[in-house]
Structure 1
Amino acid sequence: MVRRWEERVIDSVVYAILGLAGLAAIFPLMYVVSVSITPFSEVLKNGGFLLIPRSVTFSAYYQLFTQSNIPRAFSVTVFITVIGTLINLVLTALMAYPLSRKQLPGRSIFLMLVVFTMLFNGGIIPTYLIVKSLGLIDSVWSMILPNAIWSFNVLIMKSFFENLPEELFESARMDGAKEFRILMQIVLPLSVPSMLTVGLFYMVGHWNEFFQAVMYVTDRTLFPLQVVIREILMLTQQPLENAENMLPTETMQMASVVMASLPIIIIYPFIQKHFTKGMLLGSIKG
């Protein structure tokens, strides 16, 4: 009886902590969404703090799509995310598969070089000079190719490949299959959790692309979503006269934040199961 009572107390404490953590995560999201769809006059009446709107307006979202650079930036970001993630997955799989084969000559050296790039890089200026010499300045490819392969994701996928039964590879080789065919017809179909995990990492990175756009892109028509949203967030506050009819900067800011976060929030629940499975399976072996 004493042990059962102690377990109930521990469970209650754990649930309380999880509940507080959930509220801490949901609270900012509720605030941003509420302000983005509430007339600014009502926001002012509540002292700038509002969680449940009493009246709803989508004027901020309408202005974002009709009177700003958001639609063009959104299309640029979608292109970077889709094409960039496909390139990332193809190159990462092609690199991780040979590194997962213990019979690869010089395998330890290649792995050491991969880990080395996780700790050190060439620096901002040498990277910029390389991008410039390749003619990628003011191109969407400057936001894709410099980060075509992430070393951390290579190691995750390599570990997953190593956990596949070796008998599959031996039987395929006995049937005359070459390594590329083994990768395409055996390894990749069995590696969906790992591919989704790595793909999510790449996708989020491309969707939040900001630094490379600032470094390599000066053409405003090629700015991705995050750069345009930063410009909106940096706008000075407008005067507060005629608050009923005006669309102030704060409402636009909150609407732009929602627009940037919503796609990832929608996609993640559908791949959460595969994401968790891929992380666990990819961490068993190093």
Structure 2
Amino acid sequence: MSAIKDTKQDRIFKTFNYAFLTVALLIVLYPVIYIVSASISDPNLVSQGKMWLFPKGITFEGYKRVFGNEQIWIGYRNTILYTVLGTAINLAVTLPAAYALARKDFAGRNVIMAMFVFTMFFSGGLIPTYLLVKGLGLVNTIWAMVLPNAAAIWNIIICRVFFQVSIPKELEEAAIMDGCSTTKMFFKIIIPLSTPIIAVMALFYGVGHWNNYFNALIYLSDQNLYPLQLVLRQILVLQEMSSGTAGATAMANKAELAAIIKYAVMIVSTLPIIIVYPFLQRFFVKGVMIGSLKG
């Protein structure tokens, strides 16, 4: 059986698509290569524009300064703790809430869902939130980084749609007829069938915790509790301030060092997420498709 040949219009369309995707790839890939190259290049060549793609005058001084800072490692430890603990709490809150709201036999689910959605548009504001966190005794503790954002309403909606669309109702009815309780059905049947959405939610929440610095800026004063992003912010701010208060020659050297540290900091802070993302990419795409459905 011969394969169907592409028409002239099909070939033109494919050519246009390949050309467009190639240009898009170059636009996205160039800044990544530039930052990696700049982080190991001579800062003089970078500032003069002589390094535009591949590294020149290779030096690892920026990485030595970054990793030689003990606070960096403390920040890494704290960020990993906040990310793992926070993501676990997020999933423990989001999945049961979404499943309960997805069940048609749950009385008042529409009212509760409306209340949840209301909070997406109207919140108490920063000051009342701070006073609440302070009143609960969470200020300057690790819990201030994980409990105030224990669940995102939009993620609950995505999980709710997944449970409504992807879990067969007949399977739940059969489990109930066999005497399975709701709790047992959730842990023994629903969760094992929900691996894609769990991976997507773990990615969403994990990236949010990894990049989070605003809560730390508000609730934390102990530097031993600072996450990586806040530590890196302090390094860059202090470096720029010190370069601005030095003499002319020292200022130039400080500015060069600040530039190379800046690029090294970008790599240090984003590399773990870049490494993890490819393993969850297929789940991420499915999660985006789920979010496009109405439920």
TM-score of the superposed pair, with normalisation by structure 2:
0.89
CA pair 173-121 structure 1, distance change in 2 beyond 3 A: same
Give the corresponding residue for 1:175: 178
Which of 45, 52, 55 is residue 53 of structure 1 equivalent to? 55
The 8 Å contact of residues 197 and 274 in structure 1, kept in 2 or not, is answered as yes
Give the corresponding residue for 1:35: 38
Give the corresponding residue for 2:103: 101
Give the corresponding residue for 2:285: 276
Q: Which amino acid aligns with 2:91?
A: L
How many residue pairs were aligned?
A: 283
Q: Could you list the per-position Cα deviations for residues 172-228 of structure 1 after superposition, in whole angstroms to 9, with x for gaps in the alignment?
A: 111111111111010011001111111111011000111111111111221111112
Distance 2:119 2:94 in 1: 15
Q: Which amino acid aligns with 2:150?
A: A
CA pair 244-59 structure 1, distance change in 2 beyond 3 A: same
The 8 Å contact of residues 194 and 279 in structure 1, kept in 2 or not, is answered as no
The 8 Å contact of residues 156 and 282 in structure 1, kept in 2 or not, is answered as yes
Q: Give the drift of 1:244.
A: 9.7
1:261 aligns with 2:270: yes
Larger deviation, residues 80-89 vs 14-23: 14-23
1:198 aligns with 2:201: yes
TM-score of the superposed pair, with normalisation by structure 1:
0.92
| Unmatched 5+ stretches in structure 1 | none
Report the secondary structure of 1:85's partner residue: helix
1:83 aligns with 2:92: no
Instruction: Report 1:239-250 matches (<5 A).
Output: 248-250=257-259
Give the corresponding residue for 1:22: 25
Q: Give the drift of 1:100.
A: 0.5
Larger deviation, residues 181-190 vs 275-284: 275-284
Q: Which amino acid aligns with 1:21?
A: A
Give the corresponding residue for 2:261: 252
Q: Could you list the per-position Cα deviations for residues 91-134 of structure 1 after superposition, in whole angstroms to 9, with x for gaps in the alignment?
A: 11111111010111101101101111111111101100000001
Distance 1:177 1:267 in 2: 37
Q: Give the drift of 1:231.
A: 2.1
Q: Which amino acid aligns with 2:293?
A: I
CA pair 171-240 structure 1, distance change in 2 beyond 3 A: farther
Distance 1:162 1:202 in 2: 22
Q: Which amino acid aligns with 1:174?
A: M
Larger deviation, residues 65-74 vs 7-16: 7-16
1:230 aligns with 2:233: yes
Report the secondary structure of 2:79's partner residue: helix
The 8 Å contact of residues 45 and 51 in structure 2, kept in 1 or not, is answered as no
Q: Give the drift of 1:12.
A: 2.2
Q: Which amino acid aligns with 2:19?
A: A
CA RMSD in angstroms, aligned pairs only? 2.3
Distance 1:184 1:194 in 2: 15
Q: Give the drift of 1:15.
A: 2.0
The 8 Å contact of residues 60 and 247 in structure 1, kept in 2 or not, is answered as no
Sequence identity of aligned pairs in percent?
41
Distance 1:154 1:21 in 2: 32
Q: Give the drift of 1:28.
A: 1.2
| Unmatched 5+ stretches in structure 2 | 1-5
Distance 2:228 2:184 in 1: 39
The 8 Å contact of residues 199 and 280 in structure 2, kept in 1 or not, is answered as yes
Give the corresponding residue for 1:147: 149
